[in-house]
Each structure stands twice: as C-alpha cells, then as structure tokens.
Amino acid sequence: MALPENDTLEDPIINRVRTFVDEQTGRTIRQLTDFPNGAHLGYFRTFRQLPDGRMLAWARRENGRGAIIIDPDSGDIELLPHRFSTLKLREADGRNWYIRYKDPDAWRKWREERKKGNKPELPKGQQLWQIDLPNGAPELVADLPDDLPGDVDDITIDGAHLILRHTEQDLTEYPIPTTKDVEAINHYFRRPRRGELFVYRIADGKCWSILQTEDISPLHIDTSPRDPELIRYALDMPDAHGQRVWSIRLDGSDRHPIRKQEFGEMITHEFWWSNPDYIGFTYQDRRNDPTLLTHHWAEYSFALTRLGIANLAGEQVYLSDPINSYHSHLYRSNDGTLVSGEGTEGHSFVYAARFDMANPQIAMKPLATIHTEYVPFRGQGVDCNFSANDKWLIYADKLDPEGPHQLFAVEIDL
C-alpha cells in the first residue's frame, strides 16, 4: 500500500557542521544540525541506534516532523523521504513501528485544538505501519479498530502486541506545573484520575485489560527490548511518596515492584540497562527530609543523586555512591561501560563517566555547557545519548535562547 502524497517529504538537507570551543569546559563541540525549526533525539530512554552505527533523530519543519539519520563521526545527515514517528525502534535490525492516520490532516487539526486547550474528539482511522531502517520503505501492518479502549502507547519487541493506555484526568483544571510553585505542583498531584492498561493482539484483534488504577494512573509504558511478554511502567505520583516503578506480563501476571521503595526513597527516570535483564534508575534518599511532603522536584532536592540498578525480580543489584545533588536523567552506553547525565538549573552541563558494576564510584565529568533555559518539571530537552562506537555524546541545545534546539556532539575523552 502506497503512502498518500502528503506523507512524503522533499525538504532539502541542511547540514552545516561547525565546531567551537565550549566556554566553560574548554572542549571542542561539533554542531551537527542547523534546521530552521530545530532537531532532537527524542526522550532520553528512546531507542535510536541503527544497525549501521548511525543514529535516528527528528527534525521539526514547517510541513511536519521528519526523520533524519546522523553519522556522528562524519556529521553526514540523511533526511528520510517519508513522514513517520517512533512507537518502538528495534535496534538489532532497524525495524521501526509507528502509528499514522488515514487522514493526516485530521490528526494535525486535532493536535492544534489540543494545544489551544480544547477537547476535540480523536480522529478515526488509525493504522500501524513499519519501516526497516535505514533503507526500507513504509509498509502497512494493520488497520486498527476505531473502538480501541485506549491510546496506543507501545508495541512488544516482536511486533505482535500493542500496549494501550487509557487515562481519565483533567489537565485543564489541573495543568502540569512549569515553575517552582509548591501549591501548583500539589494541585496537579491532587487531580482526580484513573487509568487502565490493555493489550491488543494484532493478529486476531483480541484485546484484554491487565491493570486498573484508581486515584493514580500508569505512565512511562516501555516494553522490554528482549522479552516480548514483559512490560515496565511507572505510576504517576510524587516519586518518593509510593512505589513508582513496576513490571507486569502480557497476561497481567507477575506484577511486582522494581526496587521496592520505602516512603521517602525517590526512584525515578527508570530505563532499560544495556543488558535488559536489568533496569536502571535515579535514586535519592529523602527519608529524613523535612520538606518531603511539600518539595517534589528531584532536580531541586538537597538529597544526593545516585545511580541504581535492579534485576527483573525487582531486587537492587547496584547502587552508586552519591554523584551530586543536581543530576536529573542518567543513562548508559550500548555496552554499559559509560554513563551519561544531565544537570539542572545552575548546573547546566551534560556529563559522562566510565562505569563498572563492581565499583560504586562514578566520576562524572562535565563535557559541554547547556544553554537552554531550564523549566522545572520539564527540564531542557537535552536527551543526551552515546554514539554506537562510544566516541561521542550526542545532545540537544539552544545556543540562541530565541532559536530552536539543534543537535551537538562532544568527544568522550575521559
């Protein structure tokens, strides 16, 4: 089945790689993109490595978002001719699944109305597509029924099951906070909400519920990169006020916490480790913090940040010594021998360090300054990640406060 004409992109490639010296770290920075509407990698835990060593990223343009492939070594960019996003990229062979609508214009209008604060009805006609990157053509996998009980949130690594999420909440009356106002964030977490997770089997259309929640909702749905039966998810709450990270199987069985928390232990920003028998997370011990009930921001906490790793039974197998008190997202290289970190307001750098599971010490070094304004509860959109050969740390930044994000690379010289 061919794509409609408006699902192909003919924009010229803009690739003006330049270098400059970072004003604070003294390291040489390479700017990889110069798109007029910006470029980004996607959220920090998004899979993005292609089998040929290049990296999948995205460019925002006037006619929509399009995929680009970057060679971190040469800086060469390939702008793919088809419009698609990512539901899940299977890094082993480059298969990328995504959702599109039969009428893309209806989808864009729906998004525009949502940005205005309106509540339009979701357009009909969702389809599941796949493309084998870097050289494949889009293929229709299935037309999805209009009465799905939730939004498509993820797909299992074998491409056989969709994970659907249904959330009932009102973000108009209870908006996501973007300041350090305590009452605003407390108001947000007091919002009435409930949630449910469903599994949809693509082959025969069978759908079933595996999780129901009241006064809270599931989020950060992330299927295992190895086990097609396993799902990891989090619960929407102040990170230190309850058990946040869980796993569950496709039939709803074996639901258990990942690194069981005591009240006051903050476990968040969870991600699959390079060996997906493990799950990484950031950890802060706030059990003796008198501001625990009023101060929910991990990035502004005085508690020291650590890297933790748990096995799939939920047992902690690694906890680093304190890194510092201002790290937000932590991540790992493909082989797990490097870790990266994003600082926060007042400590705006991307960091990297050598990592050894047998050594609790992690010596984070600042590699590049981040110039993007920091937004509480939202960060800076840095989303740093390692190149496949572990030579470069790739990240997003805005050198011009009024301009868009671009992608940059700094050599990992530790």
**pLDDT tens sequence across 312-335:** 999 999 999 999 988 889 999 999
Taking the CB of residue 383, how many other CB atoms lie within 10 A of it? 24
Between CA 347 and CA 366 the distance in angstroms is 9
- The CA distances from residue 168 to 37, 119, 149, 196, 239, in Å, are 33, 13, 12, 9, 20
Q: Give the DSSP H/E element, type plus range, for residue 185.
A: helix 182-189
Structure tokens at 134: 């870097």
Laid out side by side, the sheet with 265-272 consists of 265-272, 278-285, 306-311, 316-319
Q: Which pLDDT band, with edges at 50, 70 and 90, does 63 fall under?
A: low
Q: Is residue 295 part of a domain?
A: no
| 57-61, 309-313, 314-318: segment of lowest average pLDDT | 57-61
Between CA 177 and CA 188 the distance in angstroms is 7
What local confidence, expressed as pLDDT, does residue 117 receive? Answer: 62
Length of the chain: 414
- The CA distances from residue 259 to 84, 248, 378, in Å, are 35, 14, 25
Q: Is residue 92 part of a domain?
A: yes
Higher pLDDT, 282 or 62: 282
Q: Is residue 365 part of a domain?
A: yes
Nearest-5° angle of CA 300, CA 301, CA 303?
145
- Give percent of the chain with pLDDT exceeding 90: 68
Taking the CB of residue 144, how many other CB atoms lie within 10 A of it? 19
What local confidence, expressed as pLDDT, does residue 197 receive? Answer: 98
Q: Is residue 88 part of a domain?
A: yes
- Largest pairwise CA distance in the chain: 60
Q: Is residue 46 part of a domain?
A: yes
Report which DSSP code applies to 375: B
Cα dihedral 372, 18, 79, 225 sign: negative
Range of the domain at 346: 1-143+320-414
Residue 114 has pLDDT above 80, yes or no: no
Residue 156 has pLDDT above 80, yes or no: yes
- State the total domains in the chain: 1
Which of 399, 389, 395, 397 is CA-nearest to residue 410? 395
Q: Is residue 271 part of a domain?
A: no
Which residues, including other chains, have CB under 8 Å from residue 206's CB and lie 6 or more apart?
200
Q: Is residue 249 part of a domain?
A: no
Side chain identity at residue 299, one-letter code: E
Between CA 45 and CA 281 the distance in angstroms is 11
Q: Is the omega angle on the peptide bond into residue 218 within 30 degrees of 0, that is, cis?
A: no
Higher pLDDT, 8 or 241: 241
Q: Is residue 338 part of a domain?
A: yes
Between CA 174 and CA 177 the distance in angstroms is 9
Which of 52, 32, 51 is CA-nearest to residue 40? 32
Residue 1 has pLDDT above 50, yes or no: no
| 22-31, 121-130, 367-376: segment of lowest average pLDDT | 121-130
Structure tokens at 280: 């990484």
10 Å CB burial of residue 147 (0-12, 13-18, 19+) is: exposed
Residue 380 has pLDDT above 50, yes or no: yes
What local confidence, expressed as pLDDT, does residue 293 receive? Answer: 84
Side chain identity at residue 298, one-letter code: A
What local confidence, expressed as pLDDT, does residue 13 receive? Answer: 53
Structure tokens at 352: 């990297």
Higher pLDDT, 325 or 145: 145
- Express each pLDDT in 202-233 by its tens digit: 999 999 999 999 999 999 999 999 999 999 99
Q: Mean pLDDT for the chain?
A: 90
What local confidence, expressed as pLDDT, does residue 159 receive? Answer: 98
Residue 250 has pLDDT above 70, yes or no: yes
Between CA 375 and CA 372 the distance in angstroms is 9
Structure tokens at 45: 């835990």
Between CA 380 and CA 115 the distance in angstroms is 20
Taking the CB of residue 42, how many other CB atoms lie within 10 A of it? 17
Q: How many H-runs (helices) and E-runs (strands) does the chain carry?
A: 2, 29
Q: Give the DSSP H/E element, type plus range, for residue 184.
A: helix 182-189
What local confidence, expressed as pLDDT, does residue 61 receive? Answer: 63
What local confidence, expressed as pLDDT, does residue 6 receive? Answer: 44
How much is the average pLDDT of 61-73?
A: 80
What local confidence, expressed as pLDDT, does residue 81 receive? Answer: 85
Between CA 383 and CA 144 the distance in angstroms is 31
Between CA 84 and CA 68 the distance in angstroms is 10
